Amino acid sequence: MTAGGYYLSGSDTQLTFATGRDTALTLEVRWRSGRLSTLSVRPNRLYEIDESGARAW
């Protein structure tokens, strides 16, 4: 998924995921720069993720 749009367009930067009955999940974000963020997340929460804590992969 790409959030934030493309050239001369835009899209919502908030993404929603269905998790079913799981209570603990791992979320991976691969940034355009090639860096990777890996987070342990829980359902029914709002997370703000930025690239500053990402690592090279």
**What's residue 12's pLDDT?**
73
**What's residue 2's pLDDT?**
67
Q: What is the pLDDT of residues 7-56, one digit of tens each?
A: 666 667 788 888 889 999 999 999 989 999 999 999 999 999 999 989 99
Question: What is the pTM (predicted TM-score) of this model?
Answer: 0.71
Structural domain spans, the chain: 25-49
Smallest CA-to-CA distance from 40 within 21, 31, 27, 53 is with 27
Confidence of residue 6 (pLDDT cuts 50, 70, 90): low
